[in-house]
Each structure stands twice: as structure tokens, then as C-alpha cells.
Amino acid sequence: MTPRSPGPSCRRAVTPGQSSWMRFFSLFCPSIQADVILLVTCSIREKAEQAIWNRLRHLSALKARRQQQAGSPLRIGILGCMAERLKEEILHREKLVDIVAGPDAYRDLPRLLAVAESGQQAANVLLSLDETYADILPVQTSAGGTTAFVSIMRGCDNMCSYCIVPFTRGRERSRPIASILQEVRMLSDQGVKEVTLLGQNVNSFRDMSEVQFQSAAAPGLSRGFSTVYRAKPGGLRFAHLLDQVSRIDPEMRIRFTSPHPKDFPDEVLQLIQERHNICKQLHLPAQSGSTRVLEAMRRGYTREAYLELVHHVRDSIPGVSLSSDFIAGFCGETEEDHQQTVSLLQDVRYNVGFLFAYSMRETRAFHRLQDDVPAEVKQRRLQELIAVFREEAARANEAMVGQCQLVLVEGPSKRSALELCGRNDGNIKVIFPDAEVEDAAGCQALARAQPGDYVLVKVTSASSQTLRGVPLRRTTLSRSAACH
Ligand code: 5AD
Ligand code: SF4
């Protein structure tokens, strides 16, 4: 098993869909062949935890059936943030759970499983100051996959007042750069064409693993941004990592998520602009458009500073695609605050959005603020934000009609075997007919594009989430960059 996150699990774009673990269960549960079922959990909102409690109820029946049918027990483990947060409750309330392992305890799983084998409950929820799983390379489950995630740092020191992450994931720590580069090289050798660097605060990356890194100069924060912690001196920073990673394979696209808007010094923006294989796509989580609410959230910036950053990013990286996170109905949010968020969505016009209703967690806001926006008001505001976001995203995407976009093909489209699906540089889904196309070099016969190919697609229509177009030719990332 791999301790790496298969992707950012705490955030899903405003498209509804079946969760990956639901699919996992519909595949595995009918036959009950597994000896051990491990649930990787998320605590960021109450709904995510509720889903796990419901799932445990179903597993209880499965466990009994397995014992009856096969005579051997089915072991059940809860892993990740919910295990960290609710160890006692899980063990006592759900007697069927055999293993509870927090996000920093995955190395201990063999021992925990051995304890569980002996019929006892086993738990480890110790958080670590230095665990990055640097020496454990994940097993790629999809052979021939075109995209992969690479974890580069863990934890968060920001302490936004609504957020449970600093408590479940612990302090910020970065994986040594050498081990990240080794993993990206390995992925490149396997033919992976797109790597997303992952971390709770990916652009706060700060590798202190070697003595000589400790005296490196520290970059400043984005203008108008502050932190709750004192400036951290030294360490190899995100710009250095991005530079090194992007040099490994000129045919490999590089993305990263999730960044914090405070850590975008000019050298990072410049690098993104200059390198043809670093995608011109930034996630800039705003959370609210109201300075008053941002202060209550302890985000460390005002609406004006955030907007200034957006303008600076757009000036530095022309054509950049932007995405963001927003929370509707945070403690004390008035109708006026909500309207400020609506207007921020209109002003910025994001291409992708992740929008949530505030869900109270045991955080600073729980202890010091009142969750005083009624549930139905939160929902109404959330729906309004989603509607405005969609309208603006549709406009932003419509502006691409008639343009050529470079698409990395991922495979057949879900809706039709006659169409291919991939993503453009801005991470927007592009659908086009699976037809024979020529190679840009002009020396190869017509052929159909395969997963992992780059195809130049002329966009013919757009919605808030998808572009559609016609394929012009197969090409390469380097060749396409040279044409611009
Ligand atoms: N309620 C709702 N949304 C939350 N997020 C974090 N904590 C909460 C909460 N308590 C959202 C933020 C964050 C994203 C990963 O989840 O928007 O950026
Ligand atoms: Fe949570 Fe804020 Fe850290 Fe993001 S930056 S993980 S929202 S505490």
C-alpha cells in the first residue's frame, strides 16, 4: 500500500459525482474477498466524517457475514485525519474497527495489523515533526497512466480559524528535494506526462534537510500578506524545487496544489511564465471577498491585497487560468459580506471553483466565534455563489472558442467511446472526436491520438466546465511552446 495521497481529497470542484471510495466499495464489497479494509478519511467538513460513520454501519454487516461465510475475520481500519481527530470515539463507538492510524502512522501499519490479528484493537495517532514518507515511493496502480501526484510537503502552520488541518495533519514539514526529484525522474521514465506536486501548503515548501540549505535566503511574502507565525529563515524554497522539477523532462507538464496566496514571490511567478512545461494555472484560495470575514478567518490578507495579487499574477503570467476555494456562511457573515464574495467572483472570473458551506469543526472559530448563520442561509448563499461562479466560468471559457489549445490526452471520454478527453494547460477538460490526425512533424502517417499524446485542438464550443473542439494535429510540448 502507499501512504501517499492519491490526490487532494478534501476538495472537489463544483461538479457533482460519485466519490472514489464509493466506487471502491461498489467494486469490493459484494464479494467480501478482502481480508482487510482500510478507509482513508478526511475531516475537513462534517459531511466527510458523516459519510464514514455511515459506511462503518454497512461494514458491520459485512464483517459478520464474512465471519459466517469464510470463518475468518474481516479487519477494518480507519486511516487519516478522522482517525487522528476521533481515535477514542471510533474505538469505543464502533467496536468493529480494529485499526486506527493517523496520517503520520502509516509506517506502523504492519505492527498495527499484527496486533489486530491477535484480536485486539490497535491505534497509533502520533503526529510527527518530520515524517514526509520521503523514502517510500508510491505504487502506480494505473499502469500506463499519463498523470501522477507527488507529495512534497505535509502539514500546515497557518491556523486559519475555521480549519482542522493543522490539528489533524500537524506542523509543516517538507520532503527533501533529492527524493522528490528521484520520484519525478522515475515517473518520467515510466512515461508519465503530467505531475502535480502536492501539499497542504505546497508553495511554503522549505527543505532544511542539508546543512548548506539552512543559510539560503528567504523570499518575501506576496505584497499585503502576513502570517500568524514569525518569518522562517533559510531552507531551499518552492521556486528552487519548481525550477529543478521542471528541468527533468521537457515533455512533462508540472502543476501544483494547493498553494496559499501569501507565498507567491516574483521568482515563482516568473518561473511559471518562463518555463514551457509549468502550467499557467494557479489556485488562489480566497475563502471570502469580505475583509471583515477574512480577518475573522485569520487569513492574513484583505480583499484589496488579494485583488492586487490577482492583478499582479495576471500581469506576470498572461493568460493564466485561476481557481479558488470559497466558504459560504462563515461565523458572523452578513448579507453584505456575502455580496462582497459574489462581487469578488465576478471581478476575478475564475476558471475553476471549489465552493463549500461552512461546517463547524473543533478549531479556533469553534472556541471563539459563533456559528450563527442558519443552515438554510448557508445553503442559499452557497447556491448563489455556485451560480455566479458558473456564469463567470462559462464566460471565461467562451473566450477560448476559436483558439487552439494544447491538450494532454487522458483517454476516451466518459460519455462517448467516439470521443477523447484530456486537459488543456489551464486544467480545463477538453473533449474532441477520436479521429485520425497528422503528426506536427509531418513525417508520420495519420494516426489516432493515444493517452499521453499532446494534441492541438481548435475549440468550437464551451460550457462552465468543459471545452469541445476539433483535433488539428499531434505534437509535443516543446514543439508547441516553440510555435508561440
Ligand atoms: N468548512 C467549510 N469548508 C472548509 N474548508 C476548510 N475548512 C472548512 C470548514 N470548516 C475548505 C476551505 C479550504 C478547502 C480545502 O476546504 O475552502 O481551502
Ligand atoms: Fe487549512 Fe488555512 Fe492551512 Fe489551508 S492554509 S490547510 S485553510 S489552516
Mean pLDDT for 355-372 is 97
Whether 413 is in the pocket of ligand 2, judged by its Cβ within 6 Å, is: no
For residue 36, pLDDT over 50 is answered with: yes
Tell me, in angstroms, the distance from the centre of ligand 2 to residue 426's CA: 23
Positive/negative CA dihedral, 177, 219, 250, 457: positive
Round the average pLDDT of the chain to a whole number and report it.
Answer: 91
Ligand 1 mutation pick, 327, 361, 382, max ligand atoms within 8 A of CB: 327
Quote the CA–CA distance of 102 and 157 in Å, as a whole number: 18
131 neighbors 177 (Cβ within 8 angstroms): no
Q: Is the CB of 260 under 6 A from ligand 2?
A: yes
pTM: 0.92
pLDDT tens digits, 269-312: 999 999 999 999 999 999 999 999 999 999 999 999 999 999 99
Measure CA 217 to chain center: 28
Please give the sequence-ordered ranges of beta strands (E in DSSP) within 129-172, or none if there are none: 147-151, 153-154
456 has which bridge partners? 406, 473
Out of 13-22, 37-46, 183-192, 430-439, which region has the weakest mean confidence (pLDDT)? 13-22
Positive or negative, the CA dihedral 139, 145, 146, 148 is: negative
Torsion sign (Cα): 183, 185, 191, 193 = positive
- Under the banding of pLDDT at 50, 70 and 90, the label for residue 96 is confident
Centre of ligand 1 from the C-alpha of residue 287, in Å: 8
User: What is the largest distance, in Å, between two alpha-carbon atoms of the chain?
Assistant: 68
Distance from the alpha carbon of residue 198 to the mean position of ligand 1, in angstroms: 17
CA 123 to chain centre: 27
Among 158, 264, 301, 326, say which to mutate for ligand 2: greatest number of ligand atoms within 8 Å of CB: 158
The C-alpha cell that represents 136 in the structure block = 517510500
pLDDT higher than threshold 80 for residue 20: no
Q: Which atom of ligand 1 is nearest to the CA of 363?
A: 10
Ligand 2 pocket check for 66: Cβ under 6 Å? no
169 Cα nearest atom in ligand 2? 6
Find the helix or strand (DSSP H, E) in which 454 lies. Answer: strand 454-462
Distance 355 CA to ligand 1 centre (A): 9
User: For residue 264, with 0-12 CB atoms within 10 Å meaning exposed, 13-18 middle and 19 or more buried, which class applies?
Assistant: buried
Q: Does the CB atom of residue 146 touch ligand 2 within 6 A?
A: no
Q: 158 in ligand 2 pocket by Cβ < 6 Å?
A: yes
Q: Which three cell numbers stand for residue 457?
A: 485542438
Distance CA 264, CA 311 (A): 13
| Percent of the chain topping pLDDT 90 | 79
Give the pLDDT mean for 354-358.
98
DSSP-based three-state secondary structure for 239: helix
- The pocket around ligand 1, CB under 6 angstroms, is made up of 10-11, 44-45, 162-163, 285, 287, 325, 327, 356, 358-359, 361
Residues 207-265: pLDDT tens digits? 999 988 988 888 889 899 999 898 888 999 999 999 999 999 999 999 999 999 999 99
Q: What is the pLDDT of residue 442?
A: 66
Separation CA 363–CA 386 (nearest Å)? 26
**What is d(CA 304, CA 343) in angstroms, rounded to the nearest whole number?**
12
Nearest residue by C-alpha to atom 18 in ligand 1 = 325
Pseudo-torsion of CA 115, 116, 119, 121, nearest 10°? 90
Which atom of ligand 2 is closest in space to residue 166's alpha carbon? 8
* Between residues 245 and 19, the one the model is more confident about: 245
The SS3 assignment for 264 reads: coil
206 pLDDT above the threshold of 70? yes
Q: What is the pLDDT of residues 125-176, one digit of tens each?
A: 999 999 999 999 887 766 678 999 999 999 999 999 999 999 999 999 999 9
Residues with Cβ within 8 Å of 324's Cβ and at least 6 positions away in sequence, in order, are 283, 284, 285, 286, 348, 350, 353, 354
